């Protein structure tokens, strides 16, 4: 098992200068703008705690023999908790809907079946918050009583929404349920729901990094991308999608490169992950097709080879039918967009004029691909007005490419080609889904495609790029881990500086 070894006083000197500079920058902002003392104290305490944690991480990386997956636990959980606290409720896109989905599942966990849309008045009090905006007034809510003092009263201010995959809100619902049992008020309940979502993501990635036979550093860096930490630190179901897809990919890589015959445990595990991932977003079913890369030497005969791979893929298709069948049936006959009421494209439009659709796809790829890459790197960091600056987005991308320059095992040419075929098909599937769900009829570009939709495919893409032409024997782990500490601190500083 690879370990990170100790050295370097220069790192501490640089760290002192780095953190003092940003703390001084925040102090000068407080003095110049006459910031509310309450907000200023919260901001300073957050930055000082984050500075202390950063020094602790640098010490761990430099001075302790910890494996990469253990460093991941400390780093992702620590900086994730700072995100949980500093990103105010409802500021990530659609978080109000995710919260209400999770609260509904909490009713199931607490056996409140009489009204699954039941929510207490205290836990539905959104005063002081603003949707899709990080606002300082949200921190005033921490002045509220920690526990609920009044009796629960039912309120249903929003229409019930269908949950297409009940598993994706289970961890948030568990956190909410514990908070309700302990009679927590809104803020600690909200914090606990987010924390459980983060914990699920962090521990899934821990096992992904631990189990994958090579490319651990690539998984590490992908897992720490701005949105890959930001969304699991909210109520978003993307935390579940990232966690399951990354671990699913790691299990595939282990099965593809393992020696010996495939075991029943492996088959069940891959089929279960295929079942749990597919209904979250239908566009991730191609990940299940990686089972085709499991070599024939791992099977006893051709019949077992075909049947095992069919079971894994069918598990994903079955879950789509179970959880999304009615939705797909409705979409196939839809004449108007659900969200805007405008006329939408249909399958008959496609068959009547396929060339027009080819041009729409090409036009979309030509003009929007760079936006998707920027968004995936944090251009729109939900809840933060400015998003991640371009230089930091570029640095995250450079780190990802650097992780492919290793002397480790790589895909064969056929495996690499098949991976790119899956990736290309996945892009087309994402575009097609948004064409029929979000795009008004007559539009020349497909609407609704966001960079975060491609993040579950990032490990596959960068593993496919790994080769033995561009490689280095330099131990990259230590330097990349320390770089991540500084980059993650800067994001926390940015959120605090723009909010408090």
| DSSP of 285-337 | GGGGGGGGGS-GGGSSSHHHHHHHHHHHHHHHHHHHHHHHHHHHHHHHT--B-
Q: What is the DSSP letter of 404?
A: T
Domain residue limits at 124 = 95-191
Contact 392, 378 (CB under 8 A): yes
Contact 91, 382 (CB under 8 A): yes
φ, ψ of residue 7 in degrees (nearest 5): -170, -150
Segments in 64-142 forming alpha helices (H): 68-86, 95-109
Q: Residue 189: left (phi > 0), alpha (psi -120 to 50), or beta?
A: alpha
Contact 472, 395 (CB under 8 A): no
What pLDDT, on a 0 to 100 scale, did the predictor assign at position 151? 55
d(CA 189, CA 183): 9
Q: How many CB atoms lie within 10 A of CB 51?
A: 20
Contact 218, 408 (CB under 8 A): no
Number of domains in the chain: 1
376 within some domain: no
Name every residue whose Cβ is closer than 8 Å to that of residue 19 and which is 6 or more positions away in sequence: 51, 54, 55, 489
CA nearest 247: which of 239, 235, 258? 239
Identify the three-state secondary structure at position 88: coil
C-alpha neighbours within 13 Å on the C-beta side of residue 239: 31
62 within some domain: no
183 within some domain: yes
Q: How many CB atoms lie within 10 A of CB 13?
A: 10
Residue with tokens 């009615």: 326
| Residue 205, strand partner residues | none
What separation in angstroms does the CA of 2 have from each of 69, 165, 267, 478? 10, 37, 28, 11
Tens of pLDDT, residues 77-131: 999 999 999 999 998 888 998 999 999 999 999 988 777 788 888 888 888 888 8
What pLDDT, on a 0 to 100 scale, did the predictor assign at position 331? 62
- The pTM of this model reads 0.93
Residue with tokens 């495609």: 449
Locate 26 and state its tokens.
């925040």
Residue with tokens 């921490």: 142
d(CA 343, CA 364): 19
Name every residue whose Cβ is closer than 8 Å to that of residue 84 and which is 6 or more positions away in sequence: 191, 194, 195, 198, 233, 234
120 within some domain: yes
Both ends of the chain: CA-CA distance in Å? 43
CA angle, 420 then 424 then 429, to 5°: 145
158 within some domain: yes
Contact 450, 375 (CB under 8 A): yes
d(CA 190, CA 172): 9
What pLDDT, on a 0 to 100 scale, did the predictor assign at position 262? 93
What pLDDT, on a 0 to 100 scale, did the predictor assign at position 98? 92
CA nearest 499: which of 152, 87, 220, 119? 87
What pLDDT, on a 0 to 100 scale, did the predictor assign at position 127? 87
d(CA 408, CA 467): 9
From first to last of its 500 residues, the chain has per-residue pLDDT tens of 444 444 557 888 899 999 999 999 999 999 888 889 999 999 999 999 999 999 999 999 887 778 899 999 999 999 999 999 999 999 888 899 899 999 999 999 998 877 778 888 888 888 888 888 888 999 999 988 888 875 555 565 555 556 567 889 999 999 999 999 999 999 999 999 999 999 999 999 999 999 999 999 999 999 999 999 999 999 999 999 999 999 999 999 999 999 989 999 999 999 999 999 988 888 899 999 999 999 999 999 999 999 999 999 999 999 988 887 777 766 655 666 666 667 778 777 778 888 888 899 999 999 999 999 999 999 888 767 777 899 999 999 999 999 888 766 788 889 999 999 999 999 999 998 888 888 888 888 998 899 999 999 999 999 998 877 766 667 788 899 999 999 999 999 999 998 88
CA nearest 47: which of 100, 86, 7? 86
Name every residue whose Cβ is closer than 8 Å to that of residue 69 and which is 6 or more positions away in sequence: 206, 207, 209, 210, 216
110 within some domain: yes
Q: Sign (positive/negative) of CA torsion 284, 376, 226, 191?
A: negative
Residue with tokens 């699991």: 232
406 within some domain: no
What pLDDT, on a 0 to 100 scale, did the predictor assign at position 157? 52
174 within some domain: yes
CA 458 to chain centre: 11
């Amino acid at each position: 098992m690879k370990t990170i070894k100790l050295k370097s006083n220069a790192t501490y000197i640089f760290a002192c200068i780095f953190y003092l500079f940003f703390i001084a920058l925040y102090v000068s902002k407080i003095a110049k703008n006459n910031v509310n003392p309450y907000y200023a104290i919260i901001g300073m305490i957050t930055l000082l705690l984050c500075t202390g944690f950063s020094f602790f991480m640098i010490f761990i990386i430099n001075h302790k023999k910890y494996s990469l997956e253990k460093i991941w636990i400390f780093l992702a959980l620590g900086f994730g908790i700072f995100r949980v606290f500093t990103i105010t409720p409802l500021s990530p896109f659609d978080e109000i809907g995710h919260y209400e989905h999770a609260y509904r599942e909490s009713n199931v966990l607490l056996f409140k079946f009489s009204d699954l849309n039941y929510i207490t008045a205290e836990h539905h009090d959104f005063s002081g918050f603003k949707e899709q905006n990080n606002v300082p007034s949200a921190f005033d809510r921490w002045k509220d009583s920690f526990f609920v003092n009044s009796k629960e009263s039912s309120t249903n201010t929003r229409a019930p929404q269908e949950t297409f995959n009940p598993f994706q809100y289970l961890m948030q619902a568990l956190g909410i349920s514990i908070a309700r049992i302990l009679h927590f008020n809104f803020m600690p309940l909200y914090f606990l729901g987010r924390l459980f979502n983060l914990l699920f993501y962090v521990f899934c990635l821990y096992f992904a990094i631990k189990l994958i036979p090579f490319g651990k550093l690539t998984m590490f860096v992908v897992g720490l991308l701005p949105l890959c930490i930001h969304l699991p630190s909210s109520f978003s179901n993307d935390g579940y999608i990232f966690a399951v897809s990354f671990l699913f990919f790691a299990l595939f890589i282990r099965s593809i490169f393992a020696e010996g015959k495939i075991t029943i445990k492996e088959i069940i595990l891959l089929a279960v992950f295929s079942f749990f991932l597919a209904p979250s977003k239908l566009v991730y079913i191609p990940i299940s097709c990686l089972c085709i890369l499991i070599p024939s030497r791992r099977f006893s005969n051709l019949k077992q080879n075909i049947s095992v791979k069919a079971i894994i893929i069918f598990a994903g298709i079955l879950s789509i039918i179970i959880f999304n069948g009615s939705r797909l049936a409705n979409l196939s006959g839809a004449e108007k967009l659900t969200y805007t009421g405008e006329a939408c494209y249909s399958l008959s439009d496609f068959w009547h004029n396929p060339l027009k659709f080819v041009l729409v796809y090409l036009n979309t790829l030509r003009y929007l691909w760079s936006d998707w890459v920027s968004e995936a790197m944090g251009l729109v960091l939900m809840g933060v007005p400015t998003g991640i600056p371009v230089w930091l987005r570029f640095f995250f991308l450079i780190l990802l490419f650097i992780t492919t320059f290793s002397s480790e095992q790589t895909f064969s040419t056929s495996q690499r080609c098949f991976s790119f075929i899956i990736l290309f098909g996945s892009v087309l599937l994402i575009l097609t889904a948004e064409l029929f769900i979000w795009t008004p009829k007559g539009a020349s570009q497909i609407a609704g495609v966001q960079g975060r939709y491609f993040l579950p495919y990032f490990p596959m893409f960068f593993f496919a790029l790994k080769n033995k032409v561009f490689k280095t024997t330099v131990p990259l782990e230590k330097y990349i881990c320390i770089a991540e500490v500084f980059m993650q601190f800067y994001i926390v500083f940015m959120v605090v500086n723009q909010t408090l």
